[in-house]
Amino acid sequence: MNIMALFNALPGSVAQGLIWGVMAIGVYITFKVLDFADLTVDGSIATGGAAAVMMMLSGQNVYVALIAAAIAGMLAGLATGIFHVALGIPGILAGILTQLGLYSINMRIMGKSNQALSVDKYDLILSLRDIPHAILVALIFCVVLIILLYCFFGTEMGRGFRATGNNEKMARAQGINTNNMKVLGLMLSNGLVGLAGGLYAQYQGNADVNMGRGAIVIGLAAVIIGEVVFGKFVNFNYMLRMAGVVGGAILYFVVIAIVLWLGLETTDMKLISALIVALFLAVPHLKVKFAESHVKKGGGENA
């Protein structure tokens, strides 16, 4: 094992972590702020990537392409919201149905399962060929989005949005249209996921119909790792919490890089991802168990 190989791989992990951090913020909005288990993500990130790539292939500006990616993601979130709010389908199933349908839609958008972008032919804002620049661009996107979302959460609509996630019945009693808040949250979340898909498609140089497979696991891992590792520092306000989520995404990809450096096969990635998420999910529970056992032990000794 060459330690230099690991160091050389870390900048790429940071770049990926920042790009997927945009997606993880979207996951955070639904799972933590809105308290809605949304599984649309695996489809909407590919939809965003497909929309961005096809817009650029048709000659559109890269920023127009990213706007299209975000809008495509928002439409996916709107579909999930309609399934849940208007048709009464449970949230998890609504997300699964949208995710399933998006596979066919993504194939329609691209015309085939994969569409490539050449960094030599198109003016990409980030690419694997220039990782330091990719890190800078992705970092700017994360910072700007965190600031905008923090400002949104402070508005009257943002407070209604947060109230819906905290206590839906109480929010409804206060005159808040919780159904509208749910649809808004799903659109906002998947809009960010679609934007991340557009950024990631540029970074890797292509959009693939399967590029979102397992994305929800990465998003949850980022949220959970951010809470476990940075919990003591980021629980003061939403800005720090979202920054912790981005930090969690970076740590996730750094851990993946270390595991691969240790010699595991790339075909083990899904297993590795599942184990990482399970490990960090178990940490809070194990902490409580340890504290309880320590208290009982101390009480027994005092007796």
Measured CA to CA, the distance from residue 293 to residue 131 in angstroms comes to 47
Q: What are the pLDDT digits (tens) for 150-200?
A: 999 999 999 999 999 999 999 999 899 999 999 999 999 999 999 999 999
Q: CB-based contacts of 37: which residues, under 8 Å, 6+ apart?
A: 30, 31, 91, 92, 95
pLDDT tens digit string along 237-287? Answer: 888 899 999 999 999 999 888 888 887 777 777 788 788 778 877 877 787
Which three-class secondary structure state does DSSP give residue 74? helix
What amino acid is encoded at 164 in this protein? T
pLDDT value, residue 228: 83
Higher-pLDDT residue of 227, 132: 132
Phi, psi (deg, nearest 5) at residue 264 = -75, 155
Please write the tens of the pLDDT for every residue from 130-152.
999 999 999 999 999 999 999 99
Between 260 and 35, where is the model more confident? 35
Class of residue 148 by CB neighbours under 10 A (exposed 0-12, middle 13-18, buried 19+): exposed
Higher-scoring residue by pLDDT: 118, 56:
56
**What are the chain's domains?**
3-302 (1.10.3470)
Per-residue pLDDT at 299: 60
Residue 274, pLDDT score: 81
Please state, rounded to an integer, the average pLDDT across all residues of the chain. 89
Higher-confidence residue of 266 and 55: namely: 55
- Quick one: CA dihedral 75, 76, 81, 86, positive or negative? positive
pLDDT over 80 at 5, yes or no:
no
Report the pLDDT value the prediction gives residue 302, as an integer from 0 to 100. Answer: 55
Question: Percentage of the chain with pLDDT > 90?
Answer: 63
The pLDDT score that the predictor gives to residue 55 is 94
Nearest to 38 by CA among 71, 70, 85: 85
Provide the pLDDT confidence category of residue 301 given band limits of 50, 70 and 90.
low
